[in-house]
Structure 1
Amino acid sequence: MDAVSHLLRLARPQARLDKRCLLGGATRMDVAAHAERKAPFHVLLEGACTLEIGSKLLEVRAGDVVLIPGGAPHRVTTPGCEPLSPTAETAGEAFVTTRSAQSRAPVIDLFCGHYTFGAGAGALLFRSLPDPLHVSFGSSDEGEEVLRMLSALMRGEARREGDGTAAILSALCTVLLAMVLRTSRGVNANATLWTAAGDGRIAGVVERVLADPGADWSIERLSRAAAMSRATFLRHFVRSTGMTAGTFLGQVRLMTAAELLATTDATVASVAGQVGYHSESAFSRSFRSAVGTTPARFRRASVRPA
């Protein structure tokens, strides 16, 4: 299984499309902070706008996707010379349609939604991503074509709003997340995604560790797998993933452990061994530090009532 598919299987995010925004010029849309373990996203199909999040101002163009893993409040603004107008919303069956409060011809077509994820593998994955994450699919013919097809399906379901619309839109949003996670670099060249290492040798190491996180992955073994010297491997790994090899290995092991705790009856000690920890106590300390609770409590919270 490839790395992105493996990660999505571990994280099991739930996707929802919340709004279709047809905003006229000089319009301001404020988006409130999302609840814990909810990550909003925006995909711009037509036009151009700015997205302000904290001290960062992103210039968003058609074909761009912005993901905000931490759920921070933000503002979307469309260009125009008139005083900024707020937005008005109309509720539909599957989601909300947002327009400028004043009657203005749309200058952008923006879909807004969010991903919901659990406290284990999902939280670890989203926490590891750049925040905000700004990716452009309009910069390559392949990416533009895929997004165009995805957009056409979204628009078609938005107009239909019939049986199955919510489920179809949720699936399309999951496809969008897979596309984002496999994109090696965002609009900002510094926003490196460890889920899509640009160096094929490093990407191969990432896939091997995901396939067998419990193996004895010493730095020497990892560098041999990449056919590099130790020093060269460490340097290339950070450049390609934005994190150290040790941080990556620990992350994958804890994500896998969370999945095993939630879906199997294996003891905590057994799970610790399966993901490469030599002692249950060391595993429990690492798990609690990363997830915020002990493995046993995490398992109890993950059990669904019959």
Structure 2
Amino acid sequence: MDVVSDAISAVRVGRPSSDRVRVGGRWCARLAPYEGAGFHIVLRGDCWLLPDGGEPVALGAGDAVLLPHGTGHVIADAPADAETVARAVPFDRWADGSLPRPPRPAPRARETETAREVEMLCGKYRLDRRHTHPLLAELPPLVHLPARDGAHPELRAAIGLLEGELDERRPGASLALPSLLDLLFVYMIRSWTAESATGTWPAALGDPATAAALRALHSDPAAPWTIDRLAAEAGVSRPTLARRFTTLVGRPPMAYLTWWRLTRAAALLRSTEAPLATVARHVGYASPYALSHAFRREFGTTPGRYRDATVTPG
């Protein structure tokens, strides 16, 4: 596993959902804050996104936008004032077609009406934020990935595949669609890490020694790692690794390993019925007692109570 994949798998629950929406004329829809991440892909036309507490963002055909912290927002045909935003219809009612269709435009207005038509792919990912990886926590409230020639080819390919599945509803679509939505999430985060000039984690993943150490820890968290073994894996001295890793990641390598082992244990407790001894071995603890002691120190509860209190959405 790699850091981005692990960061997502540690918090993802249930299955993602999506709607393909076509709308024309004057419109304004509201999406309430959400315990997860939301996204919009503009397939045709253009529109505006107005995040709660943020500046309006113009979206054009091919643009992708990720709201990784579930920020509430409005999407509309044009920049909207406060009164218009207050009258925005709930997105669920707007997307499922239950709202009355707008009046048919007069003949002279039909050309303008058609030109204003927008087609979008909108969706959500369910995330358990109790143990969010710092890479995801560092993401800004809104990640805008404009369509540009040659930019984000993998993301563009995923959008094209997803659009085709939505059009055709071919055999196997019930498996292909959520898999492509997961792929879309990975590509949007990967695109942000590639473009971000200020983020801590893009810098960490771009530093050869730190990135090598992170890959080693994530590929086998149960291994008997020591700082000396990890430095050898990264190809630098122990003091160099400790300094660079701590500066870029925010905690020393062994402290990060402990946190990551316990975060993986929490994910396994939440998503599987594996016995505690199995979970302990999987994340590098010699016994259920050792895992329980570390788990309680980190999260303030025992693994058993954590599992009992966790309800995984379907």
TM-score of the two chains, using structure 1 as the length reference: 0.70
Structure 2, unaligned runs of 5 or more: 106-112
Q: 112, 124, 129: which is aligned to 2:122?
A: 112
Q: 1:86 to 1:269 in 2, by over 3 A?
A: closer
Please show how residues 69-148 of structure 1 align to structure 2 within 5 Å: 69-79=68-78, 96=96, 104-105=113-114, 106=116, 108-118=118-128, 123-124=132-133, 128-134=137-143, 136=145, 138=147, 141=150, 143-144=152-153, 146-148=154-156
Deviates more, 1:257-266 or 1:75-84: 75-84
Give unmatched runs, 5+ long, in structure 1. none
1:185 matched to 2:193? The reply is: yes
Q: CA deviation at 1:46?
A: 4.2
Secondary structure class of the residue paired with 1:141: coil
RMSD between superposed Cα atoms in Å = 4.6
Letter of the structure 1 residue corresponding to residue 150 of structure 2: D
Q: Quick one: distance in 2 between partners of 1:101 and 1:253?
A: 54
Question: Which residue pairs with 1:288 in the alignment?
Answer: 299
Query: How far apart, in 2, do the equivalents of 1:233 and 1:253 lie?
Result: 20
Distance 1:76 1:186 in 2: 27
The one-letter code matched in structure 1 to 2:152 is G
Counterpart Cα distance in 2 of 1:230 and 1:190:
27
Displacement, 1:14? Answer: 3.5
**Aligned partners of 1:48, 1:22: CA distance in 2, in Å?**
12
Deviation at 1:169, TM superposition (A): 2.2
Is 1:67 paired with 2:77?
Answer: no
- How far residue 209 of structure 1 moved from its aligned partner, in angstroms, is 0.5
1:31 alignment partner AA: L
- AA in 1 matched with 2:299: R
Question: Contact between 2:40 and 2:121, CA under 8 Å: does it hold in 1?
Answer: yes
Q: Give the Cα–Cα distance (whole angstroms) in 1 for the partners of residues 286 and 174 of structure 2.
A: 40
By how many angstroms is 1:173 displaced?
0.4
| Whole-angstrom CA distance in 1 between matches of 2:239 and 2:45 | 46
| Aligned partner (choices 249, 254, 262) of residue 257 of structure 2 | 249
For residues 201 and 133 of structure 1, the distance between their equivalents in structure 2, rounded to whole angstroms, comes to 30
Matches within 5 A, 1:1-306: 1-24=1-24, 27-34=27-34, 36=35, 38-57=36-55, 59=57, 60-79=59-78, 96=96, 104-105=113-114, 106=116, 108-118=118-128, 123-124=132-133, 128-134=137-143, 136=145, 138=147, 141=150, 143-144=152-153, 146-161=154-169, 164-183=172-191, 185=193, 189-193=197-201, 197-215=205-223, 217=225, 222-228=230-236, 233=241, 236-237=244-245, 243-245=250-252, 248-261=256-269, 262-267=272-277, 270=280, 274-275=284-285, 279-280=290-291, 282-289=293-300, 293-301=301-309
Q: Secondary structure at the match of 1:55?
A: coil
Structure 1 residue 115: deviation in Å? 1.1
Say whether the 8 Å CA contact 1:214–1:273 is kept in structure 2. yes
> Aligned-pair distance for 1:268?
9.0
> Which sits farther off after the overlay, 79-88 or 228-237?
79-88
Provide, for residues 128-182 of structure 1, a one-character-per-residue CA deviation record: whole Å limited to 9, x for no partner: 35242515274572623x3333223333333335765444322210111121343
Task: Say if 1:25 and 1:211 are closer, same or farther in 2 by CA, change over 3 A.
Answer: same
SS in 2 for 1:128: helix
Q: How far 1:244 moved relative to its partner?
A: 3.5
Cα distance, 1:200 vs structure 2? 3.6
Cα deviation digits, residues 250-283 of structure 1 (max 9, x gap): 4421222124433521339945972599945641
Asked which structure has the greater CA Rg, the reply is: 2
Q: Deviations over 1:28-86 (max 9, x none)?
A: 3211122x4x3222233345544333322363455443333332311223447999695
Distance 1:10 1:286, change over 3 A: same
Larger deviation, residues 105-114 vs 83-92: 83-92
